[in-house]
Amino acid sequence: MNKIEHIGIAVKDLEKSNELFAALFGKPHYKTEEVESEGVKTSFFQLGPNKVELLEGTNENSPISKFIEKKGEGVHHIAFAVDDILSEVARLKEAGFIVLNETPKKGADNKLVVFLHPKSTNGVLIELCQEIG
Ligand code: ZN
């Protein structure tokens, strides 16, 4: 596993939160992207080598909408960059971690992503992501 690629934050209103985090970071987000299969709208801020991803659910069945319903807005996941997502998945399964989707799916920001169940990682939802070459 390499660096922290981004931290994902669940928000109720992406437009408002874009303004809030732009004020916090002193610079605007550099892109927005909708991932329809996941029912989310996202925006990204670049901070040195790391990013912050804001996520808003686009329907009530979206994992983000459900998360906010249960826990309120806040940190949703931490994403780590990996070079070879399939070998990392194999390694982590071997080590006893619970992989939520063994087949990597296409996430935002041109990435293949796999999530680990927070139950197996001290309550933290972990995303592995590999840049799609
Ligand atoms: Zn993410």
At residue 94, the pLDDT reads 97
Residue found by looking up tokens 């992501």 in the block = 129
What's the confidence (pLDDT) of residue 109? Answer: 84
From the CA of 96, how far away is ligand 1's center (Å)?
Answer: 22
pLDDT along the chain (133 residues), means of 10: 96 98 98 92 96 96 95 97 96 97 89 95 96 87
CA 8 to chain centre: 5
Rounded to the nearest whole angstrom, what is the distance from the C-alpha of residue 73 to the centroid of ligand 1? 15
The CA-atom distances, in angstroms, between 68 and each of 11, 62, 85 are 8, 10, 28
- For residue 42, what pLDDT is reported? 97
Tokens representing residue 90 in the block:
């194999």
- Taking the centre of ligand 1 as the mean of its atom positions, its distance from the CA of residue 34, in whole angstroms, is 12
In 1-133, alpha helices (H): 14-25, 63-71, 85-94
Distance 8 CA to ligand 1 centre (A): 5
The Å distance, Cα 62 to ligand 1 centre, comes to: 14
Cα 30 to ligand 1 centroid, rounded to whole Å: 15
pLDDT for the residue numbered 133: 79
Distance 95 CA to ligand 1 centre (A): 23
Distance of alpha carbon 12 from alpha carbon 72, whole angstroms: 9
Q: Distance from the CA of 113 to the center of ligand 1, in angstroms?
A: 8
Sheet holding 74-81, edge to edge: 31-35, 40-47, 50-57, 4-10, 74-81, 126-131, 111-116, 105-107
pLDDT value at residue 6: 97
